[in-house]
Amino acid sequence: MITRRCFCSSAPRPWLFVGLGNPGDKYKGTRHNVRLICITRCLMILFFVAFLSFVGDAPLLLAKPQTYMNLSGESTGALAAYYKLPLNRVIVFHDDMDLPCGVLRLQDKGGHGSHNGLKSVIYHFRGNREFARLRIGIGKPPGQMDPKAFLLQKFSASARERGGSGSNLLATVTDRAFGPLIQ
32, 94, 115, 124: the active-site residue: 32
Most confident range, picked from 19-28, 32-41, 170-179? 19-28
Question: Taking all residues of the chain, what is their mean pLDDT, rounded to a whole number?
Answer: 76
pTM for the structure as a whole = 0.75
Q: What mean pLDDT is predicted for residues 159-182?
A: 50
Whether the predicted pLDDT of 96 surpasses 90: no
All domains of the chain in start order, with CATH = 12-140+148-182 (3.40.50.1470)
Is position 32 annotated as part of the catalytic site? yes
Please write down the HEC assignment for all residues of 16-71: EEEECCCCCHHHCCEHHHHHHHHHHHHHHHHHCCCCCEEECCEEEEEECCCCCHHH
